[in-house]
Amino acid sequence: MKNSLPSAVFIAGVLGLDVLNSLARPVDELIDWWSNGNDFLSWMKQAGLLTDDDVAVAKANMSAKEIARAAANARELREWFRGFVKAHMGTSLKANALTQLGPLKRLLEMDEVFWSLEPAPAPSSKRASSDVPATGFHLRARRRWRKPESLLAPIAEGIAQFVSSADFRHVKACAGQNCVLFFLDRTRRHGRRWCSMAVCGNRAKQEAHLARLRKPKLR
């Protein structure tokens, strides 16, 4: 068993867009967190889309081959959605863009979500008392993971929630030279340029600094 992938990247500020960031270049090499069935399930867990129990149920109901096929279909969905985001980022999403969302709509129609009423998660001590739920219940969407396609359902849900709520004017690609990450700029002035200041922001600063040193001084 090898699991040498670094932690997955969640910097977009919204899950539907972090779907694209499952293909990223944390250092030099492009890494795909969806390149095989096991890595795909691990990404889903890191994204909070699957619990350990969900993974166990999925593995009991599907063969490794079927899970690998689901990962391949997910990669196809991701690259289709990357094209959609690239075509529309920077401007408001118009209603007629709906006609381009066929692959997403087909997945949503196949979803077999059911609802489960559960005890509310224990409130963390850091939360303000006004945030404590008024009841001890929590309504959770669940799935039975009977078919390989069902593994794509929570991803489709995330993408659908994103396209139905995000302001595409503020969807951006990181300005880092070799960076392939996308994010939703939620800063007040919408001036965010980098996936993260610690990575691409600093790299750009260092490059600008070196460029200044190389230039002959003007008087």
Residues 188-217 that bind Zn ion (CB under 5 A): 195, 200
Q: Which is nearer to Zn ion, 152 or 195 (CB)?
A: 195
Query: Which range, of 53-61, 76-84, 97-105, 176-184, touches Zn ion by CB under 5 A?
Result: 176-184
Decide: is 179 part of the binding site for Zn ion (CB under 5 A): yes
Under a CB-based contact definition with an 8 Å cutoff, are residues 179 and 200 in contact? yes
Nearer to Zn ion, 29 or 109 (CB): 29
Residue closer to Zn ion, measured from CB, 28 or 52 = 28
Exactly one of 174, 182, 184, 192 binds Zn ion (CB under 5 A); that residue is 174
CB of residue 196 to Zn ion, shortest distance in Å: 7
Q: Which stretch binds Zn ion (CB under 5 A): 62-70, 76-84, 88-96, 181-189?
A: 181-189
Question: Which of 16, 148, 158, 176 touches Zn ion (CB under 5 A)?
Answer: 176
H or E element that contains 63: none
Q: Minimum distance between the CB of residue 135 and Zn ion, rounded to whole angstroms?
A: 42
If one counts every other C-beta atom within 10 angstroms of the C-beta of residue 75, the result is 16
Query: 58 or 179, CB closer to Zn ion?
Result: 179
Kindly identify the residues of this chain, within the stretch 70-129, that bind Zn ion according to CB under 5 A.
Answer: none
Token pair of 82 as six digits? 């990357």
| Cα torsion angle, 175, 26, 148, 143, sign | negative
Burial class (CB in 10 A: 0-12, 13-18, 19+), 115: exposed
Rounded distance, CA 216 to CA 219, Å? 10
Beta carbons within 8 Å of 136's beta carbon, 6+ residues apart: 119, 120
Strand positions, DSSP E, the chain: 23-24, 31-32, 114-119, 137-142, 171-173, 182-184
> What is the size of the binding site for Zn ion (CB under 5 A)?
6
The interface region with Zn ion, picked from 20-28, 50-58, 61-69, 170-178 by CB under 5 A, is: 170-178
Task: Compute the Cα dihedral for 94, 181, 68, 79 and give only its sign.
Answer: positive
Select 41 or 179, whichever has its Cβ closest to Zn ion.
Answer: 179
Residue 112 C-beta: closest distance to Zn ion, Å: 37
* 154 versus 176: smaller Cβ distance to Zn ion: 176
Cα 67 to the chain's mean position, in Å? 19
Per CB under 5 A, residues contacting Zn ion are 174, 176, 179, 181, 195, 200
